[in-house]
Amino acid sequence: MQLPVRSALLLLLLLRARGLRAGERSSSAMEEIATEKEAEESHRQDSVSLLTFILLLTLTILTIWLFKHRRVRFLHETGLAMIYGLIVGVILRYGSPSSSGHDKPFSCSQEDRPFMTLLVNVSGKFFEYTLKGEISPGKIHNVEQNDMLRKVTFDPEVFFNILLPPIIFHAGYSLKKRHFFRNLGSILAYAFLGTAVSCFIIGNLMYGVVKLMKLVGQLSDKFYYTDCLLFGAVISATDPVTVLAIFNELHADVDLYALLFGESVLNDAVAIVLSSSIVAYQPTGENTHAFDAAAFFKSVGVFLGIFSGSFMMGAVTGVVTALVTKFTKLHCFPLLETALFFLMSWSTFLLAEACGFTGVVAVLFCGITQAHYTYNNLSVESRSRTKQLFEVLHFLAENFIFSYMGLALFTFQKHIFSPVFIIGAFIAIFLGRAAHIYPLSFFLNLGRRHKISWNFQHMMMFSGLRGAMAFALAIRDTATYSHQMMFSTTLLIVFFTVWIIGGGTTPMLSWLNIRVGDHAPSVEEINESRWLYFRVGVDPDQDPPPSNDSFQVLQGDGPDSERGNRTKQESAWLFRLWYSFDHNYLKPILTHSGPPLTTTLPSCCGLLARCLTTPQVYDNQEQLREEDSDFILNDGDLTLTYGDTTITANGSSGSRTATTSLEGRKTKSSSEEALEHELGMGDHEVTSRGTRLVFPLEDNA
Amino acid sequence: MQLPVRSALLLLLLLRARGLRAGERSSSAMEEIATEKEAEESHRQDSVSLLTFILLLTLTILTIWLFKHRRVRFLHETGLAMIYGLIVGVILRYGSPSSSGHDKPFSCSQEDRPFMTLLVNVSGKFFEYTLKGEISPGKIHNVEQNDMLRKVTFDPEVFFNILLPPIIFHAGYSLKKRHFFRNLGSILAYAFLGTAVSCFIIGNLMYGVVKLMKLVGQLSDKFYYTDCLLFGAVISATDPVTVLAIFNELHADVDLYALLFGESVLNDAVAIVLSSSIVAYQPTGENTHAFDAAAFFKSVGVFLGIFSGSFMMGAVTGVVTALVTKFTKLHCFPLLETALFFLMSWSTFLLAEACGFTGVVAVLFCGITQAHYTYNNLSVESRSRTKQLFEVLHFLAENFIFSYMGLALFTFQKHIFSPVFIIGAFIAIFLGRAAHIYPLSFFLNLGRRHKISWNFQHMMMFSGLRGAMAFALAIRDTATYSHQMMFSTTLLIVFFTVWIIGGGTTPMLSWLNIRVGDHAPSVEEINESRWLYFRVGVDPDQDPPPSNDSFQVLQGDGPDSERGNRTKQESAWLFRLWYSFDHNYLKPILTHSGPPLTTTLPSCCGLLARCLTTPQVYDNQEQLREEDSDFILNDGDLTLTYGDTTITANGSSGSRTATTSLEGRKTKSSSEEALEHELGMGDHEVTSRGTRLVFPLEDNA
C-alpha cells in the first residue's frame, strides 16, 4: 500500500544517517564530547560515501571520453557506470570491516501506535527522536549492519524526488521533434495499450511462475497476484536513455527513432501511474487478495485520475511559464529568465506532489509544454542555458542512478535471488514485449499509410531495454519478501538489457537492414549537426535553420519526402484537430509566433485578442519565422501560406527537386481533402523557403 | 562546542520532518492507513512549504526584472527578497492555525547515554527511530509547535552544506580579475588582520555591553566572553553580494572594487575559520570560561590548521582538475567537461569535510584555482557552460538565503530581542569597522605607491554590509540563550545593512566624489560588456578580447594607465615572487599557456619538461595568446615578448596614444628595476596588440 505521494521526505534525505543536534553546553562535558565525536565521525563517513559516488562518476566520465575518443560502441556509458558501481560495491562489501559497535539499538515497549516524534529521557536529559520506519520482527538483528554499507544506501525516495525529475524533464524538453508528433497516434497506442498489455501478460505469467515455485517448494513467503501485477508494471517501463544515445550516434531511421523514443518516454509515465494504481488496488473484506470488481474499478479510476491530474499540472505550469515569459521583457536578462524557468519547472513537481498527483509524470508534460511554447519566448542565450543546465543535470542524475545500480547489487542487504523466478521473469518479459509489439503493430498498420515494417517491429521488440525507471520503481518498496525478490530480479534484468541489448543494437540494426547513416554525403562530417537533424529527426541544437529539410530534398532524396508526406497522414484526424487548435489559438496566445489572434478569434473577442497579441506577432507575419524548428506545428498560416508557397516555389528557378516534388503533390492532391492539402503546404513552404537558403551549400558540393 | 564538521547530514536534509517508511503489508490495515495518511499529509506539507519558497523566489525574480527594467536602484534584489520573505513570514506566523495534534511526543526513561538508533515496540511491531537532537528541559513543551512553521524551518546545516558552497565557489570562480591580484597584499591585510581586529574589538565591546546588561538586570541567562568573541567573528564577515552588484551596475572605481570585493570574499573564509577556532577554545579545569593560554594557543593552532588545510584541499582539487583537463581531450565533449568540472569542484567540499577541514573555505580556493588554471584548458563552450551553471546556482542560493532571512524573523521560534544588546551591537560594529579600516589603511599607505585615499577609506567603512555568511554562521547554533540573542541581533543587522547601506551606496559614492562611469563614451551602451571590463575590472563574460585594455588607452585615459602602473608595484615583492613562479612553472604545467617548460626548467629536468609540455604551448608561442583574459599573469613570455612588443607597437602606425604611452614608460623605466620593467612590458604587449584590433572601433567613434 504505497501511494506515490506517501514519502515524507521531499528533495532531500540522501543519506539515511542523521547526526546529533547541538547539545546543551551546560551539561557534563565528557558525555557530550563522546556524542559529538560520534556525530563528527558519522558526518565524515557521509562525506566519504558521497565522495565515493563522485569519484565513481568522475571515473565514468573519463572512461566515457576514452570510449568516445576511440569510438568504442560495444559498451554504452550507462553500462560502464554500472560496471564501476559493481566494482566499488564488491570492495565495500568484502573490503570494509563488517560492523562497528556504536550503533546499538535499544528497545522499549509502548502500548499505543507509533508517534512521529519521540522524547527520551536519558539520565535527566531529553533527546528527540524521529520515526524512521517499521522493521519486521525477523530483521531486528539486521539493524546492526556494516556502517559503510548503510551510508552508501540511499533512501529510495531520493530516486523519485531528486534523480528522476531532471531525467524525465530533460526527456520531455528535448522531445520537440516533428516525427514525434507525426507518429503521435502510434506512440500513444504503444505507450498506453502496449504497457497495459505487457503489464498484464507479465503479471499473469509471473503468477504462473510463482504457483510453480510454490509447488516445487522454492517460495518461503507470501507472493500475491497483485505483487505479480506490480512486477509487470515495474518491468514494463522501457528506458529512453540507451536507445536515444545509440540511435543518436548511429543516425538510424527517423520514424523508428520517434516510435522508440516516444514510446519509452510516455511508457515511464504510464508505468509509474500503473504501479500506483496496482498498489491502490485493495479489495475489502476478508479475502484481501482475490479479485474484487469494485476495487478494480477504483484502481482504474485512480489510474485515470492520477494520470490526467499530473498531465494537467504539467501543462498548466508550462502554460503559466509561457505566459510570464511572453508578457514580460524578462528575455533581456537571461539569468533571471533561466532561474524563472528552472523554478517554474521545479514547482510543477512540488505542486503535483502537494495535490496528490505524481510529480515525475507532471514534470514530463511540463517539459513537453515548455519545449513547445515557452522555448519560443526565451532569449537565444536562455535557450542554450536552459538546455545545457538540464542536460548536465540529466547526465549526472542518470549516470548516478546507473552506478548506484551496480553498487546496489552488492551493498543492498536484502537480496533474494531465486533462479526460477529470474528465468521466468526473462521469459515473461520477452513474451510480454512480443505480445505488445507485434499485435499492436498489426492493428496500427491497418490504419497507417506508412506501415511499420517487420524489420522495424523486430527492432522495437529487441530494443526493450529496462533502465532507471524500472530500478526506481522496484527499489521504492522493498519491505516484503516478494518485493525484495522483485527488486533483485529487476536489477539483473536491467544489467542484462543494458549490457547485452545495448551493446547489440549496432549489429542488430545492420542485421535487420535498417538504414543507418552510412550513405551520407561527404558534407556530413562537416555539418554533422544538420545531418543528424534531417536524418534522425534529432536536432542536436533544437534550433536548426530551415535549410536542413530542403537539404534533404536537394540530395534528391525523393522517396524519403514522399514517405514523409504519407507518414504525416497517419494519425490524421487526431493530429489535424490538435494542430489547427494549437496553431490558431494556443501558439498565438502563449508565444510570439503563429497568426495574430485578431484573425483567428471570432470578432466578438476582438478586445481580448488585441490584448493577447504582442507587436512581435505582426512583425513575424511579414518576415520568415525562422526561429521555429517545429515546422509542422508552427509553420504556415494556412491560407496565407498557400499563396506564399506557390510564389516562392516558382520564383526560385534553380530548385529542380522542390518543384518536382510540388508537381508530384499537385497530381495527388485532387484525391485529398482540403485540410490535408493545406497541411502538406506547410511542409512545402519549408521546402521552397529552404531552397533559397541552401543554394550556397549546393554550389560547394 | 560546535566544530564545523560536526553535522551528520550532508547535502541533504532540507526539511526537518521525515515520514514513515513502508509498513508491513501483513499487519492490521486500519492502523497502517492512519499512519500512512499522516505520512502523506506530512509529505504534502513538505511540498507546500518548498513550493512557498519557490513562489517567493519567482516573485522576487519578476520584481527584480521590473526594478531593472525601470532602473530602480534604491533597493537591491537581495533586499527585495528579504521583504517578500518578511511578508510570507508574517502570514505564516499569524495566518496559519496554531497547532495540530498528531505530533505528540512520548517520553520513556532510560539510564544510559543516548543511542543513534532506537527500536520501539508498539503493540508487537517494531519501529526504528533516529536521534534528532537534545532538547533542553525547559523547552519540552515547545516541541509541539505549529506544523507549518516547523516545515518552513530548515536545518541550519542546510545553509552550510547546500546553499553557501555554490555562492562561495562562484565568488572564487569569478575572481579572475587583474586588479584583485594587483592589490593582493592590501586585500590579504584587510581580510586577515582586519577581520581579527574587528572580531576582537566587537567581542570586547559586546562583553562590556553584556556586563552592563547584567548590572541593569536585562540578562536572564549566561553570556560568556567566548560567546561575545563568537559574535564578533560572526558579524565581522562582510558580504560580497550587494557590493558586487551595486559596484557592477555603477561602474565604480576599479581599485576600490577590487579591495572591497577581495576583502569580503576572503573575509568570509576567515570568519568561518575564526568562529570554529573560538568554538574550539575550551579551557580545561573548573573555571571553564576564564582565559587559558594553552587553550588560546590551541585555538590559534586550530585556526591555522583549518585554514591552511582547507586552502590546500581547494588548491589540490583545482590543480587535479587542471591536469585532467589539460592532458585529456575532454574539451571535444563540453557536456563531459562541464560535468567533470562540477563534480571535481563539489568533491573539494566533501574532501575537506571528510578530512575535518572547512568545506566552504576549500570551495573558495578551489574556485580561484579553477578560474586561474582550469578555465584556460576548457573548451569555449564549457567556459560559458560552467560560468552559467554556477551563476544560476549562485543566484538561486543567494536569493533563497535572503528570502529565508526575511521569513526567519517571524517563523523562528526562539527569538530574543534585547534592545540594549542590539544598540550595543550596532555601535560595536561601527567602531569595529572603523578600527579595522582606518588604521590598517594608514599602515598600508606607508607601503603603497598608489595610496588608498580618504574617500576610498570612507567608502570601505560605509560598505561593510553583512549578509548570507553572517546569517549562516549565526543560525548554525541557536541552542543557548546567548546564541539565540546573537542570532536575532545578527538578523536585524543584516536587514539594516542590506536595506539602508545597500540603498545608500549610490548617493554615498557621489557624495564622496568617487568616479562612477558617467563620463563614458557613447559606445558604452553598445559595448556595455567591454566597457564594464575595463572600467570596473569586472569582465562580465570572463573572456574579453584583448582590445578592451587598449580601448582604454585609445580613449586617451593617460592618467589611468599611469595609475595602473603604479598600483601594480604596490605589493611588489610578494606579487613578483608569486608571479614569476606562477608564470614560469605553474601555468606551463597546468595549462596550455605560458612559456614551454623546456625553457624555464633547468636542463636536468629536460625529460620531465618535455612530458608536461603539450604541443599547443609551442603553437601558442608563435601566435598571439588571445584567449587569456588575465593579462598580467598570463601574458608575455618575458624575453620573447619584449621584442614582439616593440615591433608591434612601432609597426602599427596609427596608434598615437599607445606609442605615447610607450614613450612615457621608457622615460620612466630607467629608474625602475629590470623585473618591474618586464612586468610592465607584459601590459604593454597587450596595449600594442590590442591597438591593431581596435582600429575599426576608433574609426567609428
Q: Does position A670 have pLDDT exceeding 50, yes or no?
A: no
Q: Does A1 touch chain B (CB under 8 A)?
A: yes
pLDDT in tens, A89-103: 888 888 766 544 444
Residue A629: count of CB within 10 angstroms of its CB: 21
Of residues A331 and B337, more confidence is placed in B337
Q: Does B538 touch chain A (CB under 8 A)?
A: no
Read off the C-alpha cell for A398. 542518470
Section B76-94 average pLDDT: 86
pLDDT given at position B76: 76
Q: Residue B696: which residues within 8 A CB-CB, separation 6 or more?
A: none
Section B636-657 average pLDDT: 34
Q: Does position B546 have pLDDT exceeding 70, yes or no?
A: no
Inter-chain CB proximity A132 and B131 less than 8 Å: no
Inter-chain CB proximity B395 and A111 less than 8 Å: no
pLDDT given at position A233: 92
Could you tell me the strand order of the sheet in which A125-135 lies? A107-110, B117-122, B125-135, A125-135, A117-122, B107-110
Inter-chain CB proximity B6 and A15 less than 8 Å: no
Beta bridge partners of B127: A134, B120
Please name the residues between 146 and 205 in chain B that touch chain A, using a CB distance below 8 Å. none
Write the DSSP string, B352-369: HHHTTS-HHHHHHHHHHH
Q: Does B61 touch chain A (CB under 8 A)?
A: yes
pLDDT given at position B176: 62
Share of chain B above pLDDT 70, in %: 61
**Min Cα–Cα distance to chain B from A695, Å:** 29
Pairwise CA distance, residues A164 & A325, whole Å: 26
Pairwise CA distance, residues A407 & A415, whole Å: 13
Q: Does A529 touch chain B (CB under 8 A)?
A: no
Chain A residue at shortest CA distance from B282: A29
Q: Does position B597 have pLDDT exceeding 50, yes or no?
A: yes
Section A76-93 average pLDDT: 86
Section A238-247 average pLDDT: 70
Of residues B87 and A663, more confidence is placed in B87
Residue B245: count of CB within 10 angstroms of its CB: 16
Q: Does A287 touch chain B (CB under 8 A)?
A: no
pLDDT given at position A294: 79
pLDDT given at position B148: 67
Q: Does B225 touch chain A (CB under 8 A)?
A: no
Of residues A224 and A107, more confidence is placed in A224
- Segment holding B84, helix H or strand E: helix B77-95
The model's confidence at residue A590, banded by pLDDT at 50, 70 and 90, is: confident
Of residues B204 and B184, more confidence is placed in B204
At A238 the three-state DSSP class reads strand
Asked if residue B347 lies in contact with residue A51, where contact means CB atoms within 8 angstroms, the answer is yes
Average pLDDT, rounded, for chain A: 70
The model's confidence at residue B233, banded by pLDDT at 50, 70 and 90, is: very high
* Cα dihedral sign, B581-B586-B588-B589: positive
pLDDT in tens, A399-408: 899 999 888 8
Q: Residue A354: which residues within 8 A CB-CB, separation 6 or more?
A: B44, B47, B48, B51
What's this model's pTM, rounded to 2 decimal places?
Answer: 0.75
Inter-chain CB proximity B343 and A10 less than 8 Å: no
pLDDT given at position B129: 59
Average pLDDT, rounded, for chain B: 70
- Segment holding B693, helix H or strand E: helix B674-700
Share of chain A above pLDDT 70, in %: 61
pLDDT in tens, A553-563: 333 333 333 34
Q: At residue A390, what is the residue type?
A: F
Best of A150, A392, A413, A486 to substitute, by most chain B Cβ atoms within 10 angstroms, is: A392
Chain A residue at shortest CA distance from B2: A22
Best of A53, A62, A117 to substitute, by most chain B Cβ atoms within 10 angstroms, is: A117
The model's confidence at residue B618, banded by pLDDT at 50, 70 and 90, is: low
Q: Does position A88 have pLDDT exceeding 60, yes or no?
A: yes
**Min Cα–Cα distance to chain B from A640, Å:** 37
Please name the residues between 461 and 480 in chain B that touch chain A, using a CB distance below 8 Å. 477, 479-480
Best of A18, A320, A342, A398 to substitute, by most chain B Cβ atoms within 10 angstroms, is: A18
Pairwise CA distance, residues B401 & B399, whole Å: 5
Strands B117-122 and A125-135 come out as unpaired
pLDDT given at position B254: 76
pLDDT given at position A574: 67
Section B347-368 average pLDDT: 90
How far the first Cα of chain A sits from its last, in Å, is: 64
Best of B3, B18, B59 to substitute, by most chain A Cβ atoms within 10 angstroms, is: B18
Read off the C-alpha cell for A500. 547485452
How far the first Cα of chain B sits from its last, in Å, is: 64
Chain A residue at shortest CA distance from B59: A340
Write the DSSP string, A550-606: HHHHHTT-HHHHHHHHHHHHTTHHHHHHHHHHIIIIIHHHHSS-SS-HHHHS-GGGH
Inter-chain CB proximity B127 and A131 less than 8 Å: yes
Contacts of A57 in chain B (CB under 8 A): 339, 343
Closest partner residue to B10 (CB to CB) among A46, A392, A479 is: A46
Pairwise CA distance, residues B637 & B685, whole Å: 10
pLDDT in tens, A109-151: 444 445 555 555 555 555 555 555 555 544 444 444 556 677 7
Q: Does position A426 have pLDDT exceeding 70, yes or no?
A: yes
pLDDT given at position A682: 36
Report yes or no for ipTM above 0.90.
no
Please name the residues between 231 and 270 in chain A that touch chain B, using a CB distance below 8 Å. none
Write the DSSP string, A279-326: HH----SS-TTS--HHHHHHHHHHHHHHHHHHHHHHHHHHHHHHHHHH
Write the DSSP string, B582-620: IIIIIHHHHSS-SS-HHHHS-GGGHHHHHHH--HHHHHH
pLDDT given at position B342: 93
Residue of B115, B190, B181, B117 whose CA lies nearest to B564 = B181
Closest partner residue to A335 (CB to CB) among B20, B24, B392 is: B392
Inter-chain CB proximity B65 and A329 less than 8 Å: yes
**Min Cα–Cα distance to chain B from A446, Å:** 43
| Stretch among A675-689, B298-312, B562-576 having the lowest mean pLDDT | A675-689
pLDDT in tens, B491-533: 999 998 888 887 787 788 888 877 655 433 333 333 333 333 3
pLDDT in tens, B265-276: 888 889 988 888
Pairwise CA distance, residues B377 & B326, whole Å: 6
* Cα dihedral sign, A329-B64-B368-B624: positive
* Cα dihedral sign, A144-A147-A153-A157: positive
Chain B residue at shortest CA distance from A325: B62
pLDDT given at position A596: 72
Q: Does position A461 have pLDDT exceeding 50, yes or no?
A: yes
| Stretch among A221-235, A423-437, B44-58, B113-127 having the lowest mean pLDDT | B113-127
Q: Does B59 touch chain A (CB under 8 A)?
A: no
Q: Residue B635: which residues within 8 A CB-CB, separation 6 or more?
A: B625, B628, B641, B682, B683, B685, B686
DSSP A154: B
Q: Averaging pLDDT over each range in B252-256, B441-445, B596-600, B605-609, which range is the top one?
A: B441-445
Pairwise CA distance, residues B621 & B8, whole Å: 51
pLDDT given at position B507: 81
Q: Does position A432 have pLDDT exceeding 80, yes or no?
A: yes
Q: Does B380 touch chain A (CB under 8 A)?
A: no
Inter-chain CB proximity B339 and A6 less than 8 Å: no
Q: Does position A535 have pLDDT exceeding 90, yes or no?
A: no
pLDDT given at position B115: 52
Q: Does position B416 have pLDDT exceeding 80, yes or no?
A: yes
pLDDT given at position B107: 47
Interface A-B: count of C-beta contacts within 8 A: 440
Pairwise CA distance, residues A1 & A108, whole Å: 27
pLDDT given at position A222: 81
- Segment holding B127, helix H or strand E: strand B125-135
Q: Does B33 touch chain A (CB under 8 A)?
A: yes
Read off the C-alpha cell for A261. 523514443
Section B591-617 average pLDDT: 71
Q: Does position A19 have pLDDT exceeding 70, yes or no?
A: no
Read off the C-alpha cell for A293. 470488481
Task: Report chain B's C-alpha Rg in angstroms.
Answer: 28
Best of B2, B3, B5, B9 to substitute, by most chain A Cβ atoms within 10 angstroms, is: B9
Q: Does A572 touch chain B (CB under 8 A)?
A: no
Pairwise CA distance, residues A525 & A555, whole Å: 15
Contacts of A69 in chain B (CB under 8 A): 329, 332
**Min Cα–Cα distance to chain A from B378, Å:** 15
pLDDT in tens, A143-189: 445 566 777 777 777 888 888 899 889 988 887 667 787 788 888 88
Four-point Cα dihedral B486, B492, B498, B504, nearest 10: -120
Inter-chain CB proximity B25 and A1 less than 8 Å: yes
Best of B45, B63, B116, B330 to substitute, by most chain A Cβ atoms within 10 angstroms, is: B116
Inter-chain CB proximity A62 and B135 less than 8 Å: no
Residue of A153, A225, A396 whose CA lies nearest to B338 = A396
pLDDT given at position B109: 46
Section A187-193 average pLDDT: 89
Exposed/middle/buried for B30, CB within 10 Å: 0-12, 13-18, 19+? exposed
Pairwise CA distance, residues B301 & B649, whole Å: 53
DSSP B134: E
Section B23-37 average pLDDT: 53
Inter-chain CB proximity A24 and B58 less than 8 Å: no
Please name the residues between 382 and 421 in chain A that touch chain B, using a CB distance below 8 Å. 385, 388-389, 391-392, 395-396
Please name the residues between 585 and 614 in chain A that touch chain B, using a CB distance below 8 Å. none
Residue A510: count of CB within 10 angstroms of its CB: 12
Pairwise CA distance, residues B443 & B436, whole Å: 11
C-alpha distances (whole Å) from A561 to each of A250, A531, A684, B50 are 21, 15, 10, 49
Residue of B677, B683, B575 whose CA lies nearest to B181 = B575
Closest partner residue to A114 (CB to CB) among B111, B127, B385 is: B127
Share of chain B above pLDDT 90, in %: 16
Inter-chain CB proximity A122 and B131 less than 8 Å: no
Q: Does position B406 have pLDDT exceeding 80, yes or no?
A: yes
**Min Cα–Cα distance to chain A from B548, Å:** 23
Q: Does position A343 have pLDDT exceeding 90, yes or no?
A: yes
Pairwise CA distance, residues A499 & A85, whole Å: 14
